[in-house]
Amino acid sequence: MKPYIMIPTYNERENIANLINEILNLKIKNPHIVVVDDSSPDGTWKIVQDISKKQKNVHLLLRKKDKGRGAAGRDGFIYCLKHGADIIVEMDADFSHNPKYIPSMIKELKNADLVLGSRRLKDSKEIGRSLLRRFVTLAANLYITLMLGINVKDCNSGFRCFKRKVLEGINVEKLQSKGPAIVQEVLFKTQLKKFKIKEIPITFLNRTKGKSKLGIPQLAAGYFMILKLKLLYLMGKI
Ligand SMILES: Nc1nc2c(ncn2[C@@H]2O[C@H](COP(=O)(O)OP(=O)(O)O)[C@@H](O)[C@H]2O)c(=O)[nH]1
Ligand SMILES: [Mg+2]
């Protein structure tokens, strides 16, 4: 087994060292961590660089151009495939996605090709998010489900565990979203390729350190990207 945990970061100085530590303390065989940082002005990349000098299974992918959550995720996936990962976990750096779920997500790959940490199952919980933010997520979820017909309850979850063949099958080099809509693009393409997707309940905790990068411009661009994906699909281009 060669699992890679891929974490995109932008200004996560207060979270990243603790998160890496927690992941390394999990009971996972042969874990690798790759942090994909877009030259964060707060020096997140420097912290990761220092850790990677001592921990050979911690890697920094420092990006200088084409910045954004989407392009970072794409490059992170390419990196994992290139280095021989057979399992790829994608998660946020802000502790919204508790690393304690990673071992059970990996185990669940026995029954699915993609396992997704979901906020919308009976045993799921969401803690610390404002009513407005929850409404925004719910509305986005409804829009995405209607537009793309994704058969998943939580289309916005960026906490996911993939078998290698899924990322190979959806052709990650061709991912188009520059921003956070990459989460839905990957899910849409995974469903189109008929890979088996399984949701497991998680307790999602709003970040307590650092700031969210999802503002109104990113949200609007995300809605537009979903529309673009739908049109590309209708034109037979994906
Ligand atoms: N490399 C990179 N990572 C990003 C970028 N924007 C957000 N992220 C990371 O993507 C993850 C999700 O972003 P976050 O701000 O928590 O969004 P939210 O959970 O929707 O509020 C976090 O780990 C961020 O640090 C970006 O432009 N580049
Ligand atoms: Mg977050």
How does pLDDT run across 7-34, given as a tens digit for each residue?
Answer: 999 999 999 999 999 999 999 999 999 9
Provide the pLDDT for residue 99.
98
Ligand 1 lined by 12 (C-beta under 6 Å):
yes
CA contacts within 13 A on the Cβ side of 197? 22
DSSP 165-200: HHHHHTTGGG---SSTTHHHHHHHHHHHTT--EEEE
Ligand 1 lined by 69 (C-beta under 6 Å):
yes
Q: Whole-prediction pTM value? A: 0.97
Provide the pLDDT for residue 96.
98
Name the amino acid, one letter, at 215.
Answer: G
> Could you tell me the distance, in angstroms and rounded to a whole number, from the CA of residue 236 to the centre of ligand 1?
31
Tens-digit pLDDT string for the chain (238 aa): 999 999 999 999 999 999 999 999 999 999 999 999 999 999 999 999 999 999 999 999 999 999 999 999 999 999 999 999 999 999 999 999 999 999 999 999 999 999 999 999 999 999 999 999 999 999 999 999 999 999 999 999 999 999 999 999 999 999 999 999 999 999 999 999 999 999 999 999 999 999 999 999 999 999 999 999 999 999 999 9
Provide the pLDDT for residue 37.
98
Give the pairing type, strands 32-37 and 3-9. Answer: parallel
> Could you tell me the distance, in angstroms and rounded to a whole number, from the CA of residue 211 to the centre of ligand 1?
9
Provide the pLDDT for residue 95.
98
